[in-house]
Amino acid sequence: MKRLSILLFVLFLVACQSQAGAGVVNTYTNIGAVELNNMLAEKDFVFVNVHIPFEGDIAATDLSIPFDEITDPDNLAQLPADKNAKIVLYCRSGRMSEIAANALVALGYTNIWNLDGGMIEWERQGFEIIGK
């Protein structure tokens, strides 16, 4: 019940944000698997797997936080306090990380990146998933 309440609250915040802000749109950036692989060579971000249940990681993952618990205060405490810090999210297909990205943007995070297509696209491009 707590998870559902949190998720509904986050969805409410996202909906409100999309209607507020007269022209100011906070959003996240989608990236492809090849671009992410290039970014990992000079990693300057917090890398978060938000997929549940666990189905493996991309190497260099820093945190695993369930997408539907990303706004829980204990989980937010694991993220950088600076809401301008770069955070890259991913999941298996991209859907859970989109939800988490929207939730973080609704909370004022400004430098959120999402792996478009998730681990499926990562593997399709020939990259490895570890620990599955």
Catalogue the active-site residues.
91
Peptide bond into 53 cis (omega under 30): yes
| Torsion sign, CA atoms 111, 117, 119, 125 | negative
Q: Phi first, then psi: what are they for 87, rounded to 5°?
A: -130, 125
Residue 36 to residues 1, 51, 73, 126, 131, Cα–Cα distance (Å): 35, 17, 28, 13, 19
